[in-house]
Amino acid sequence: MDENEPCFDQDPAILQFKETILNSLRQLETKIMNISSTLESTDKQIAAIVTAQKALHIEKGSKLEGTMKKKSLTQSSSASSPDQAKKCVKSANDSDQEAELIQDTQDLHQSDAQIQTLLTQQNEMKSSFQSISSTMTKMFEMLTGTSASSSLGEDDEVADVFDLA
């Protein structure tokens, strides 16, 4: 190449194109930061739901266990007495409570499955987020001809996004 010929990379149109792309990357950076914030917030919300769900499991499990013990004790005492009719009424109430607890337990298991689906979707979003961040880093490096971390200052917003990946 002749020294007098202008360098392709220094052509004003190319420099303007690079600047436009870099500005677009910075705009994407803002959107990615919002996604990152949303992912963090969602992680906290899911963790709170999982904690509450575990507490419900413990509570419902102990109630169901207590009801089952009571039922077995009632069934094992087969003494005939004038209070037998009262015990039958109590037994019917216990059966209703047991059915309600069983339904609650089934509802909890369904809710567990829904939470697991949310966790899976959250992990997929995080993976996509990391992939997008990595792609943006590569684009920035290609446009500037340097690595993103060395070409950006510590206070530069784009550098912060690339550190998230």
Summarize pLDDT for 61-75 with one digit per residue, the tens. 777 666 666 666 655
Residue type for 124, please?
Answer: E
- Return the ∠ at Cα 14 (arms to 12 and 16), rounded to 5°: 70
Sequence-distant (≥ 6) Cβ neighbours of residue 27 within 8 angstroms: none
Q: What is the pLDDT of residues 72-90, one digit of tens each?
A: 665 555 445 555 555 555 5
Cα dihedral 147, 151, 153, 159 sign:
negative
Which pTM value belongs to this model?
Answer: 0.56
Domain extent listing, the chain: 32-64+87-164
Q: What's the whole-number mean pLDDT along residues 10-34?
A: 87
